Chains A and B, each alone.
Chain A
Amino acid sequence: MPGLGASFGRGGATNFLEDLSNSDCIVIEGSNMAECHPVGFQWVSEAKARGAKIVHIDPRFTRTSAIADLHVPLRMGTDIAFLGGLIKYVLDNDLYFKDYVVAYTNASALVNEEFADTEDLDGLFSGFDAENRMYDDSSWQYDPEEPNHSGAEQPAEAAEQERTDDHPDVKKTDRAQAAGSGGPTIPAKPRRDETLQHPRSVFQILKRHYARYTPEMVSEVCGIEPEVFLQVAKWVTDNSNRDRTTAWVYSVGWTQHSVGAQYIRTCSILQTLLGNIGRPGGGIMALRGHASIQGSTDIPTLYNLLPGYLPMPHAMQHATLDEYVADAAGKAGFWGNKRAYMTSLLKAWWGDAATAENDFAFDYLPKINGDHSSYRTIADMIEGKVSGYFLVGENPSVGHPNGRMNRFGLANLDWMVVRDLQMIESATFWKEGPEHETGELAPETIGTEVFFMPAATHVEKEGTFTQTQRVLQWRHKAVEPPNDARSDLWFYYHLGRMLRERLADSTDPRDRPLLDLTWDYPVHGETQDPDAEAVLREINGVGPDGRALNSYMQMKDDGSTSGGCWIYTGVYADEVNQAARRVPAKQMGLAGSEWGWAWPLNRRMLYNRASADPAGKPWSERKKYVWWDEDAGEWTGSDVPDFEKNKRPDYVPPDGAKAQDALAGTDPFVMQGDGKAWLFAPAGVVDGPLPTHYEPVESVVENALYPIQANPTVERIPGPWNRENPSRSEVFPFQVTTYRLTEHHTAGGMSRTLPYLSELQPEFFVEVSPELARLRGLSNGEYATLVSARTAIEAKVLVTERMRPIRLRGGQVVHQIGMPYHWSYAGISTGDSANDLLGIALDPNTHIQEDKVSTADIIPGRRPRGPAMLDLVEDYRRRAGVQSGRVGVNGRDPVEADAGEGSNL
Chain B
Amino acid sequence: MSRDCGAKHRTEDGRRVGSLGAVVAPDGGAGGNMIRVKTWLDSWPVYRQLTGSDPFGRGKAARSKATEATVSRTATADRVLKSVCPFCAVGCAQNVYVKDEKIVQIEGDPDSPINRGRLCPKGSASKQLVTSPTRVTTVKYRRPYGTEWEDLDLDTAMEMIADRVLEARRKGWQEEDGGKRVNRTMGIASLGGATLDNEENYLMKKLYSALGAIQIENQARI
Name A293-337 residues within 8 Å CB distance of B: 293-303, 306-307, 312, 315-316, 319
**Complex-state Cα separation, A295 to B146, whole angstroms:** 38
Given contacts A42-B118, A290-B89, A291-B84, contact A296 B196 (CB under 8 A): yes
A443 contacts chain B at the CB level, 8 A cutoff: yes
Given contacts A42-B1, A452-B141, A453-B157, contact A392 B196 (CB under 8 A): yes
**Structural contact, B92 and A315, CB atoms closer than 8 A:** no
**Structural contact, B121 and A460, CB atoms closer than 8 A:** no
A774 contacts chain B at the CB level, 8 A cutoff: no
Given contacts A366-B209, A367-B183, contact A377 B197 (CB under 8 A): no
- Comparing B44-52, B59-67, B100-108, the segment that makes contact with chain A is B100-108
B40 contacts chain A at the CB level, 8 A cutoff: no
B23 contacts chain A at the CB level, 8 A cutoff: no
**Complex-state Cα separation, A482 to B193, whole angstroms:** 21
Q: How many whole Å from A56's CB to the nearest CB in chain B?
A: 18
Q: Which of B109, B162, B222 contacts A502 (CB 8 A)?
A: B162
Residues of A within 8 A of B171 (CB): 387
Q: Which of A388, A444, A538 contacts B168 (CB 8 A)?
A: A388
Q: Which of A288, A364, A369, A753 contacts B132 (CB 8 A)?
A: A753
**Complex-state Cα separation, A391 to B198, whole angstroms:** 17
Q: Which of B83, B89, B133, B134 contacts A478 (CB 8 A)?
A: B83
**Complex-state Cα separation, A380 to B172, whole angstroms:** 12
**Structural contact, B139 and A453, CB atoms closer than 8 A:** yes
Closest to B92 in A: A39
**Structural contact, B217 and A302, CB atoms closer than 8 A:** yes
**Structural contact, B136 and A297, CB atoms closer than 8 A:** no
**Structural contact, A315 and B191, CB atoms closer than 8 A:** no
Determine the interface band of chain A, counting residues with CB < 8 A from chain B: 35 or more
**Structural contact, B88 and A36, CB atoms closer than 8 A:** yes
Residues of A within 8 A of B109 (CB): 582
**Structural contact, A315 and B177, CB atoms closer than 8 A:** yes
**Complex-state Cα separation, A558 to B82, whole angstroms:** 40
Residues of A within 8 A of B69 (CB): none
**Structural contact, B190 and A742, CB atoms closer than 8 A:** no
Given contacts A366-B214, A443-B147, A499-B166, contact A307 B113 (CB under 8 A): no
**Complex-state Cα separation, A367 to B136, whole angstroms:** 38
**Structural contact, A756 and B9, CB atoms closer than 8 A:** yes
Given contacts A396-B191, A514-B210, contact A447 B200 (CB under 8 A): no
Q: From DSSP, what is the main secondary structure of chain B's interface residues? A: mixed
Given contacts A489-B197, A493-B203, contact A478 B81 (CB under 8 A): yes
**Structural contact, A458 and B83, CB atoms closer than 8 A:** yes
**Complex-state Cα separation, A315 to B176, whole angstroms:** 9
**Complex-state Cα separation, A590 to B52, whole angstroms:** 37
Residues of B within 8 A of A451 (CB): 139-141, 152, 157, 160-161
Closest to A760 in B: B121
A412 contacts chain B at the CB level, 8 A cutoff: no
Residues of A within 8 A of B83 (CB): 458-459, 475-476, 478
A544 contacts chain B at the CB level, 8 A cutoff: no
Residues of B within 8 A of A373 (CB): 217, 221
**Complex-state Cα separation, A468 to B114, whole angstroms:** 11
Given contacts A388-B164, A457-B129, contact A753 B134 (CB under 8 A): yes
**Complex-state Cα separation, A363 to B184, whole angstroms:** 11
Residues of B within 8 A of A498 (CB): 158-159, 162
Name A385-403 residues within 8 Å CB distance of B: 385-396, 399-400
Given contacts A295-B201, A301-B201, contact A392 B193 (CB under 8 A): yes
Determine the interface band of chain B, counting residues with CB < 8 A from chain A: 35 or more
Chain A proximity mask over B84-104: 1 for CB below 8 Å, otherwise 0: 111111111100101001110
**Structural contact, A514 and B211, CB atoms closer than 8 A:** yes
Residues of A within 8 A of B197 (CB): 292, 295, 461, 463-465, 475, 487-489, 532
**Complex-state Cα separation, A36 to B87, whole angstroms:** 10
**Structural contact, B218 and A377, CB atoms closer than 8 A:** no
Name B130-162 residues within 8 Å CB distance of A: 130, 132-149, 152-154, 157-162
B24 contacts chain A at the CB level, 8 A cutoff: no
Q: How many whole Å from A520's CB to the nearest CB in chain B?
A: 13
**Structural contact, A492 and B203, CB atoms closer than 8 A:** yes
B12 contacts chain A at the CB level, 8 A cutoff: yes
Residue from A307, A445, A480 having most chain B Cβ neighbours under 10 A: A307
**Structural contact, A745 and B87, CB atoms closer than 8 A:** yes
**Complex-state Cα separation, A364 to B211, whole angstroms:** 9
B37 contacts chain A at the CB level, 8 A cutoff: no
**Structural contact, A535 and B9, CB atoms closer than 8 A:** no
Residues of B within 8 A of A532 (CB): 197, 199
A421 contacts chain B at the CB level, 8 A cutoff: yes
**Structural contact, A292 and B143, CB atoms closer than 8 A:** no
Residues of A within 8 A of B30 (CB): none
Closest to A409 in B: B189
Given contacts A536-B198, A585-B112, contact A302 B182 (CB under 8 A): no
Residues of A within 8 A of B129 (CB): 421, 457-458, 750, 754
**Complex-state Cα separation, A744 to B87, whole angstroms:** 9
**Structural contact, B144 and A447, CB atoms closer than 8 A:** yes
Given contacts A458-B126, A479-B102, A495-B158, contact A297 B220 (CB under 8 A): yes
Given contacts A369-B178, A514-B211, contact A463 B132 (CB under 8 A): no
**Complex-state Cα separation, A422 to B208, whole angstroms:** 25
Residues of B within 8 A of A517 (CB): 206-207, 210
**Structural contact, A459 and B143, CB atoms closer than 8 A:** no
Given contacts A363-B183, A387-B167, A449-B142, contact A495 B161 (CB under 8 A): yes
B192 contacts chain A at the CB level, 8 A cutoff: yes
**Structural contact, B147 and A303, CB atoms closer than 8 A:** no
A809 contacts chain B at the CB level, 8 A cutoff: no
Given contacts A369-B178, A459-B106, contact A381 B143 (CB under 8 A): no
B202 contacts chain A at the CB level, 8 A cutoff: yes
B43 contacts chain A at the CB level, 8 A cutoff: no
Residues of B within 8 A of A494 (CB): 158
**Complex-state Cα separation, A387 to B120, whole angstroms:** 41
**Complex-state Cα separation, A474 to B161, whole angstroms:** 30
A513 contacts chain B at the CB level, 8 A cutoff: yes
**Structural contact, A290 and B136, CB atoms closer than 8 A:** no
**Structural contact, A386 and B172, CB atoms closer than 8 A:** yes
**Structural contact, B191 and A391, CB atoms closer than 8 A:** yes
**Structural contact, A471 and B114, CB atoms closer than 8 A:** yes
**Structural contact, B205 and A457, CB atoms closer than 8 A:** no
Residues of A within 8 A of B192 (CB): 296, 301, 390, 392-394
**Structural contact, A595 and B114, CB atoms closer than 8 A:** yes
Closest to A743 in B: B121
A450 contacts chain B at the CB level, 8 A cutoff: yes
Residues of A within 8 A of B88 (CB): 36-37, 289-291, 745
Residues of A within 8 A of B202 (CB): 299, 307, 535, 538-539, 564-565
Residues of A within 8 A of B130 (CB): 457, 459-460, 479
**Complex-state Cα separation, A18 to B89, whole angstroms:** 14
**Complex-state Cα separation, A372 to B1, whole angstroms:** 41
**Complex-state Cα separation, A564 to B207, whole angstroms:** 13
**Complex-state Cα separation, A595 to B173, whole angstroms:** 46
B219 contacts chain A at the CB level, 8 A cutoff: yes
Given contacts A291-B86, A291-B87, contact A374 B158 (CB under 8 A): no
A467 contacts chain B at the CB level, 8 A cutoff: yes
Q: How many whole Å from A487's CB to the nearest CB in chain B?
A: 7
Closest to B207 in A: A496
- A-B CB proximity, top 6 nearest: A467-B91, A463-B197, A393-B193, A366-B184, A290-B194, A592-B113
- 4 further A-B pairs in the complex, CB-CB below 8 A; given A399-B222, A530-B203: A292-B201, A299-B205, A473-B93, A756-B10
Please list 16 pairs of residues, one from A and one from B, whose beta carbons are closer than 8 Å in the complex, sorted by A's number.
A39-B90, A295-B197, A302-B217, A374-B221, A392-B193, A392-B204, A396-B191, A430-B142, A444-B145, A449-B143, A452-B140, A465-B195, A468-B91, A496-B207, A502-B166, A582-B111
